[in-house]
Amino acid sequence: MPGNQLLLIGLVQALFVLLVAPIFTGLSRTLRAKLHSRKGPDIFQNYRDIFKLIKRQEVVPAQASWVFRLTPSIVMATTLLIAMVIPILTLQSPLGIAGDLIAVVYLLAVVRFFFALAGLDSGSGFGGIGASREMALAVLVEPTIILVLFLVALLAGSTDLGIISQKVAAGEISYYSPAVWLGMASFAVATFIETGKLPFDLAEAEQEIQEGPLTEYSGRSLAVLKWSLYMKQVVVIALFLAVFFPFGSAAVVSTSSLLVSMATFLLKVTGFYVIAALLENSMARLLLFKAPTVTWVAFGIALLSFVFYLANV
């Protein structure tokens, strides 16, 4: 069984992600407004939206089965679990005994699986399109993610995320190796795609396909689902940070070091969101069938980093 302390840190991480996730999407909304020269909402608007939605009446299409009703809860629980496994505040994976990076990748697949299924279950045409695109995009991105993670795991000698974080933080896996920075580049692209940001918001495009699988959700289900999707963005970014930028995370666990690592984590994620905001507001939405050109490049870079890894050793 896990040490009680680690389990506690895991829970702290999950709660932490739960609480801060809406800020970041708020930040991204604010930044977008600024780039559009609009006044825009303030950073905390998403909290108000969520609590307003929870109070609203829920409308469910008659065709929907229990999959539709349960999906928000399943998606949120799974995202919280991922937040417990990834080393966010410490250099150790709080729940490393529950699963390694492969488990994390497949837990992300759980989110996707139920999200897409709920889209189909709603019986809405938009939900179906969103579901189909959600899964198709995963097909394009998942090989890149696994290849890069596999490569880093090979460098660290373990697929445990905590050990990878520690070795990167200790400099045992060095940025000077081209394998690492190429891997980082391609993983950054994959992370950007996974967060569902603008050129790749193919499943939940607000203007075009009425937010896809979210179309038929309303009231508290919509609140929970939206909140989970905000969390998913942060969690995916946290995975990227845990593997490539673990600096500032607590090596020794104490209250003060945890507070420091919370602050550094917030800073790092903010950095990611600022860069992402610049990128997403300078681009138009991609056509689904144009997405492979980008994912192929990302996969190509990952392959190149693999070649460098082989050549180095």
Binder of other proteins out of 84, 188, 203, 242 (CB under 8 A): 84
* Least Å from the CB of residue 29 to other proteins: 22
Q: Which of 147, 179, 222, 262 binds other proteins (CB under 8 A)?
A: 147
Exactly one of 23, 145, 241, 250 binds other proteins (CB under 8 A); which one?
145
Our finding on whether 3 is near other proteins (CB under 8 A) is no
178 binds other proteins (CB under 8 A): no
Task: List the one residue out of 176, 129, 168, 133 whose CA is nearest residue 149.
Answer: 168
Across the strands, what pairs with 250?
90
> How many residues belong to the site for other proteins (CB under 8 A)?
90
Q: Name the burial class of residue 2, with classes exposed (0-12), middle (13-18) and buried (19+) by CB atoms within 10 angstroms of its CB.
A: middle
Taking the mean position of all CA atoms in its chain, how far away is CA 284? 21
Smallest gap from Cβ 311 to other proteins, in A, equals 11
Taken in order 135, 140, 141, 147, the sign of the CA dihedral is positive
- In whole angstroms, what is the distance from residue 129 CA to residue 22 CA? 26
Asked whether position 208 contacts other proteins by CB under 8 A, the answer is no
**Closest approach of other proteins to the CB of residue 264, in Å:** 26
Find the part of the chain contacting other proteins (CB under 8 A) among 41-49, 126-134, 191-199, 250-258.
126-134
* 94 is an interface residue for other proteins by CB under 8 A: no
Site for other proteins in 51-80 (CB under 8 A): 51, 54-68, 72-74, 76-78, 80
Residue 61 beta carbon to other proteins: minimum distance, rounded to whole angstroms? 4
Cβ–Cβ under 8 Å, residues 134 and 149: no
Our finding on whether 246 is near other proteins (CB under 8 A) is no
Instruction: Check if the beta carbon of residue 285 is closer than 8 Å to that of residue 208.
Output: yes
Q: CB within 8 A of 84, min separation 6: which ones?
A: 10, 11, 13, 14, 94, 95, 98
- Which residue, 118 or 188, has its beta carbon nearer to other proteins? 118
